[in-house]
């Protein structure tokens, strides 16, 4: 049996079954990472298609070929049907939008605590300028896909790319992370909506 001496934040390889004992009182966490399977991906994409009423095209074959048996479905017809269905997946913009929404949706209930009363954009501006910091909620998924940022199933729209990159990169945010974006009322309104959703909060 192999023995390891672990330090804080040590991580086992995924192929290393183990039985551990602490030398003193401590908290041990076992965290598993699970990628979605094909069934979950298809189900998620189907939901996206239905919500946006995509795929309204019907199968059509005006030049139906003859067949030996009237009940036969020909291989060429199956190929056409498959191509029609794959046409939905093979739309890069829709596929990127779906995956950004799908992969950032939390698979468990987030411990959100929306502020009461909600922040006004100018209050967030003043707090950041005074040196307060925004902390990202634990477990919140924030990812970039082709330069676009998704937060918990929603795409964040803003022309201020460096500020969006900061949202996706840093767990703690200061005023300088946002730069000139803080002078844009539309960006401040978007940031206020994220804070009032409980996704970011002001640190102590």
CA–CA separation, 178 and 166 (whole Å): 7
Two tokens, residue 112: 């959100």
Residue 9, pLDDT score:
63
Residue 32: pLDDT over 70: no
CA angle 126, 132, 135 (to 5 degrees): 120
pTM of the model: 0.78
Residue 96, pLDDT score:
96
CATH fold for domain 121-202: Malonyl-Coenzyme A Acyl Carrier Protein; domain 2 (3.40.366)
Per the prediction, the chain carries an average pLDDT of 89
Two tokens, residue 182: 């803080």
Q: What are φ and ψ of residue 6, in 5° steps?
A: -100, 145
Say which DSSP state 179 is in. G
CB 161 within 8 A of CB 76: no
Residue 63: pLDDT over 90: no
Residue 41: pLDDT over 90: yes
Taking Cα atoms as reference points, which of 179, 196, 195, 180 lies closest to residue 134? 195
Residue 114, pLDDT score:
94
Residue 62: pLDDT over 90: no
129 CB-near residues (< 8 Å, 6+ apart)? 175, 182
Helix (H, G, I), strand (E, B) or coil at 156: strand
Q: What is the pLDDT of residues 141-190, one digit of tens each?
A: 999 999 899 999 999 999 999 999 999 999 999 999 999 999 999 999 99
Residue 28, pLDDT score:
67
List beta partners, residue 135.
172, 201
Preceding amide of 57 cis, omega within 30: no
Q: What are φ and ψ of residue 148, in 5° steps?
A: -100, 140
CA–CA separation, 86 and 71 (whole Å): 25
CB 151 within 8 A of CB 165: no
Q: Considering the chain, tell me which residue range(s) the CATH 3.40.366.30 domain(s) occupy.
A: 121-202
User: In terms of C-beta distances under 8 Å and separation of at least 24 residues, what long-range contacts does 125-130 make, across chains too?
Assistant: 125/182, 125/188, 127/202, 128/174, 128/175, 128/178, 128/182, 129/175, 129/182
């Amino acid at each position: 049996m192999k023995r390891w001496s672990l330090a804080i934040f040590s991580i086992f390889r995924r192929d290393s079954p183990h039985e551990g004992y602490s030398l003193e009182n401590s908290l041990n966490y076992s965290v598993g990472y699970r990628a979605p399977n094909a069934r979950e991906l298809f189900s998620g994409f189907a939901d996206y298609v239905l919500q946006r009423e995509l795929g309204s095209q019907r199968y059509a074959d005006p030049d139906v070929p003859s067949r030996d048996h009237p009940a036969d479905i020909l291989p060429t017809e199956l190929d056409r049907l498959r191509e029609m269905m794959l046409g939905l997946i093979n739309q890069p913009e829709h596929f990127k939008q779906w995956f950004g929404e799908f992969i950032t949706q939390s698979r468990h209930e987030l411990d959100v605590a929306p502020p009461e009363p909600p922040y006004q954009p100018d209050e967030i501006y003043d707090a950041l300028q005074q040196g307060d910091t925004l902390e990202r909620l634990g477990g919140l998924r924030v990812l970039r896909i082709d330069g676009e940022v998704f937060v918990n199933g929603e795409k964040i729209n803003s022309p201020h790319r460096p500020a969006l990159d900061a949202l996706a990169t840093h767990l703690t945010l200061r005023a300088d992370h946002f730069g000139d974006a803080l002078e844009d009322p539309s960006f401040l309104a978007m940031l206020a909506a994220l804070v009032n959703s409980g996704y970011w909060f002001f640190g102590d």
